[in-house]
Structures are given as structure tokens and as C-alpha cells.
Amino acid sequence: MSEHLIHSDKGNSVQMAITPASAAWGHLSFSVVTLAAGEKHAVGTEGIEVAVVPRSGSGGVTGGEQTFALSRSSVWQEKPHVLYIPPGQDVTVAGPSTGSGDETFEFAYGGAPAEGKYPVRLFTPEEQQVVVRGGGAATRQVNFTLQHPLPAERLILFEVYVSGGMYSGWPPHCHDGFAGSPYLEETYYYKINPSDHGYAIHRNYRLDNDFDELFTVKDGDCVLVTEGFHPVAGPPGAQVYFLNYLAGDLLDEGRADPPYDDPNWGWMKDDYEANGLTLPLFD
């Protein structure tokens, strides 16, 4: 298994914990946690800003002197409230306060180095822009979960929805410094419907062909984008969702700077239906 494909440890409350050291990069951390009633999880914010995104269920987050109730029916049914926490706060997440005993609170959080320019803030679903990008077989929905103009120092978050048979990240783009692109580290955390046998295909590659990774991604998997272009495709009949955390050299308003498109495919932004086949080809 590649070190860039991370499987969830669904038997533990901390299903994954990616650090700059484990990812061999310089900025971004990312974790997924599930808490039962009565359980708690401490989130370290020394020197980093953190964003907490609920995945399903309900729980409470205490940051500094404030406590926030977070809940979400599922990633398929509604946008989240997103809690932003600056460096230097004592943060504790608690599982469901009531329930039958089998209820849980699943959430993701990630962090990046920051100075503490912005206060604790709960971003509402109404503040998150939703756009449908692409066209043809590259149509997808992108939710601006924590992206400019929503303020943060380094963190950028998206939630993306891809219908079966569609591509996301098309034309492919990179943000690794190549061709003047900004340097950003990125995690792709996946939910797939159906969760038991659904999958997605994720590719990381460079134009020089010296780096080319192709992953079959299952529900609960995470892919690290350390470099290169990185498109995603879902098979017909599967629904693909992924949560992106990004952090790198872009700061504040600069977090809106665009990536660099693969020059072999960038022309498709002008016509997503171009170079298609009309079937049948032959009588």
C-alpha cells in the first residue's frame, strides 16, 4: 500500500491522524474521530489554527471559554457548521450528551501553522458558497466550506460531490509550485455511497511521468496530495464525496489564488463536450 493512501481504523475512536511528520510535508495536519456518549477528545492548537467539520451525529466543542454544539445528519443531507479556532486555545470535543448508547459524533479536524490573526468563529452553512463546476462528464458540486472570503490564515476547506460516471478536478490541476502554481498540501477524505462496495479512482501525477500514483479509494479512505495533478472519477451507480483540507504558502486573501491546469487538458474548460464519440460509430 502506498504511504499516500490512508485507510480509516474504524475500530478506534481516532480513525486517522495525519501529521506533517507522517505525511513528510511542512504544514497540514488532518484527523477523523468518532466519539460515543461520554467520550472526549482533546485537540492541540499550539502554533496552529484548526477547523472542525462535523460528519454525522452531534457533539460539543469547547474552545477557550466558549462551547459550541455541532451536529449534522450526514454529509449527504446538509452542509455543516464549521468551527474555526486560532492557535493557543484549549480545545475539547465531547460525544453525544444523550442517546440510546449507540449514537456517535463523527467529525474531522485539521490544522496549519498560524499567528492568531482571527478569533474563534462558527461559520454557518448559509455562509458557504455552493457552485456547480465543469460540464458534461466533468460536472460536480463544490462547497466552499472555508475558503476566501471566509477568513483563515492558511487553512482552505472544500466539500465536493461527484455523481456516478463523472470526473472531478477536471481538467486536472496542480498546486505544488510547478509552472508558478502556489504550493499547497492537500488531503482528500472520502465517503462513498454505497459504502460497502462503492469506490472512486484517484490519480496523482506529474507531466514528466516520473511520478504517477493511481488509487482505488473506498469509503473512509484518505489520499495525500503531496505533488502533481490529481483528478478523481466515480463509477456509474456510485456517489462520491470528499472533504479537502489544504494549507501551504498562501495566506489570508491569497488563499483564493488559483492552481495551474494540465496544459494537455486545460482546453476543455471551453468545451466539455469536445472530442466525444457519437455512438454507434459504425452501422
Q: Which residues pair with 130 in a beta bridge?
A: 143
- At residue 64, the pLDDT reads 76
Q: For cell 460528519, name the residue.
A: 55
- At residue 65, the pLDDT reads 83
Cβ pair 112, 154 in contact under 8 A: yes
Is residue 150 domain-resident? yes
H, E, C per residue of 43-71: ECCCCEEEEEEEEEEEEEEEECCEEEEEE
Is residue 277 domain-resident? no
The DSSP code for 231 is: -
- At residue 1, the pLDDT reads 44
Is residue 172 domain-resident? yes
Q: How many domains is the chain built from?
A: 1
Alpha helices in the chain (DSSP H): 20-23
Is residue 276 domain-resident? no
The answer to pTM > 0.85 is yes
Q: What are the cell numbers at 119?
A: 478569533
Q: What are the cell numbers at 113?
A: 501553522
Cβ pair 202, 217 in contact under 8 A: yes
- At residue 100, the pLDDT reads 55
Is residue 281 domain-resident? no
**Which residues have C-beta within 8 Å of that of residue 38, sequence separation ≥ 6?**
95
Q: How far is it, in rounded angstroms, from Cα 49 to Cα 99?
A: 32
Strands 184-193 and 222-225 turn out to be antiparallel
What CATH code is carried by the domain that includes residue 154? 2.60.120.10
- How do the pLDDT tens digits run along the chain, 283 residues long? 479 999 999 889 999 999 999 999 999 999 999 999 999 999 999 999 999 999 999 999 998 789 999 999 999 999 999 999 999 998 999 999 875 567 999 999 999 999 999 999 999 999 999 999 999 999 999 999 999 999 999 999 999 999 999 999 999 999 999 999 999 999 999 999 999 999 999 999 999 999 999 999 999 999 999 999 999 999 999 999 999 999 999 999 999 999 999 999 999 999 999 999 999 999 7
Q: For cell 498560524, name the residue.
A: 114
Instruction: State which H helix or E strand residue 240 sits in.
Output: strand 239-248
Is residue 37 domain-resident? yes
From residue 249, how far is each of 18, 28, 174, 257, 262 by CA, in Å? 19, 11, 14, 11, 21
Is residue 162 domain-resident? yes
Q: How far is it, in rounded angstroms, from Cα 10 to Cα 33?
A: 9
AA identity, residue 279: L
Q: Which residues pair with 35 in a beta bridge?
A: 105
Is residue 258 domain-resident? yes
- At residue 45, the pLDDT reads 94
Helix (H, G, I), strand (E, B) or coil at 185: strand
Domain that holds residue 47: 5-270
